[in-house]
Amino acid sequence: MSVIVELSLFPLDKGLSVSAFVARAVGIIRASGLGCQLTPMGTCIEGEWDEVMAVVDKCFQALAQDSDRVYLTLKADWRRGRMHGLRAKTESVERALATVEEEL
Amino acid sequence: MSVIVELSLFPLDKGLSVSAFVARAVGIIRASGLGCQLTPMGTCIEGEWDEVMAVVDKCFQALAQDSDRVYLTLKADWRRGRMHGLRAKTESVERALATVEEEL
Amino acid sequence: MSVIVELSLFPLDKGLSVSAFVARAVGIIRASGLGCQLTPMGTCIEGEWDEVMAVVDKCFQALAQDSDRVYLTLKADWRRGRMHGLRAKTESVERALATVEEEL
Amino acid sequence: MSVIVELSLFPLDKGLSVSAFVARAVGIIRASGLGCQLTPMGTCIEGEWDEVMAVVDKCFQALAQDSDRVYLTLKADWRRGRMHGLRAKTESVERALATVEEEL
């Protein structure tokens, strides 16, 4: 689908261990049915812009409802007509890497 | 207002000079009536979450309509009940800085 | 100078009000003599890559010395041979915006 | 190790397909011997702050040597004394998620 968003968000008023809050967001993302991948620094979500941003909104609301301060960072790479981007992006880098190594 | 978002977005298929595209987004942000501040690396927008995200969406649509690839980064700092955040955030740092310098 | 970095960093274990910590970093940046601009969501620093990254390192060390967890985000736009980027970048957007508005 | 950095960087003057350039950076990261994980939106690197930042520097230099403009974003989460963070971070979210689901 056209856009891949990498999202990370956490409350700033809940101390050092924020896994439970992050898990709440990840649960929402998985329940959305969109393609996604949990990484050490955020979650990648793939879909059309509107549907991905609707999920980002739900994640934000879920954390804001019982926090006083939430920090969120988001990175989006939109490409017209892209398909299977989550897989395709890392695969094309791996392929390019294999070519580089062959040339050495 | 509760959230400050720093937004930057640009097309990846229009060559090195993307000022005209960035200007289109800044024009949309200013026309929204929300508080905003243009910085060297993005634009800060202040408002309620829903209204700021609606403006982010408009900016994205304006660039995606005639690009094939758009890259967007966004950083949000939401604090319940915050007022005049654009000014208050830099002022509180400047105040803290003055205190530090006095102590030296 | 060639690179503009937007830096934001704060401790995650010091509660909601992190201005004093941010101020420490801003003090280090200003003392570096590099061009800089405090914004509501971070600080922009301009210089050559090596000198800017040396300042980023100092800021990180200053916060890590008495925190147990530090979160840092950085965005860099490097352009060969750029001069006066902090001013030039916002000016070129303002100029493009003026052109857009004239055309309407 | 103490810090996990998520790094993404690409040239802005090489057209739409930047996999070959990203691959060059990923090759440098893997050759460093540090723990790392390629994700759809960047690469996570784990190590001590100094060694991770030295790798970031190498990646930047490798792209800047034959580009005129490079864009780089970096997110760092430093935690004193952390071990096996790349694995531990996603595992603690998965564990928290399992707990949430059990409670429903």
Q: What is the pLDDT of residue B103?
A: 63
Tell me the chain A residues in contact with residue D11 when contact means C-beta distances shorter than 8 Å: none
Q: What is the pLDDT of residue B17?
A: 81
Between the alpha carbon of residue D21 and those of residues A71, A92, D25, D63, the distances in Å are 31, 11, 7, 7
Q: Is the pLDDT of residue D1 over 80?
A: no
- For B58, the token pair is 């408009």
Q: How far apart are CA C80 and CA C55, in angstroms?
A: 20
Chain A neighbors (3+ CB pairs < 8 Å): B, C, D
The tens digit of pLDDT for each residue in A39-81 reads 999 999 999 999 999 999 999 999 999 999 999 999 999 999 9
Q: What is the pLDDT of residue A35?
A: 97
User: Chain A interface, mutation test: which of D18, D19, D84, most A Cβ atoms within 10 Å?
Assistant: D19
Q: What angle do CA D7, D8, D12 make, to 5 degrees?
A: 150
The tens digit of pLDDT for each residue in D6-63 reads 999 999 998 888 899 999 999 999 999 999 999 999 999 999 999 999 999 999 999 9
Q: B9 to chain D: nearest residue by CA?
A: D71
Q: What is the pLDDT of residue C59?
A: 98
The answer to which of A30-34, B28-32, D87-91 has the lowest mean pLDDT is D87-91
Q: Could C77 and B41 be called an inter-chain contact, meaning their C-beta atoms sit closer than 8 Å?
A: yes
Nearest Cα of chain C lies from the Cα of D60 at a distance, in angstroms, of 9
Q: What is the pLDDT of residue B99?
A: 84
Which residues in A have their CB inside 8 Å of a CB on C? 12-13, 15-16, 68-69, 71, 73
Nearest Cα of chain D lies from the Cα of A104 at a distance, in angstroms, of 12
Q: Let me know: does B77 contact C6? Beta carbons within 8 Å.
A: no
Q: Where are the beta strands (DSSP E) in B12-99?
A: 35-39, 42-47, 69-79
Nearest Cα of chain B lies from the Cα of A55 at a distance, in angstroms, of 13
Nearest Cα of chain C lies from the Cα of D99 at a distance, in angstroms, of 24
DSSP secondary structure code for residue D29 in this structure:
H
Q: What is the pLDDT of residue C64?
A: 96
What backbone phi and psi angles, to 5 degrees, belong to C43? -130, 130
Q: What is the mean pLDDT of residues C47-69?
A: 97
Q: Is the pLDDT of residue B100 over 80?
A: no
Q: How far apart are CA C36 and CA D46, in angstroms?
A: 29
Cβ count near C35 (within 10 Å): 18
| DSSP output for C27-71 | HHHHHTT-EEEEETTEEEEEE-HHHHHHHHHHHHHHHHTT-SEEE
How many Cα atoms are found within 13 Å in the side-chain-facing hemisphere of C95?
A: 9
pTM equals 0.95
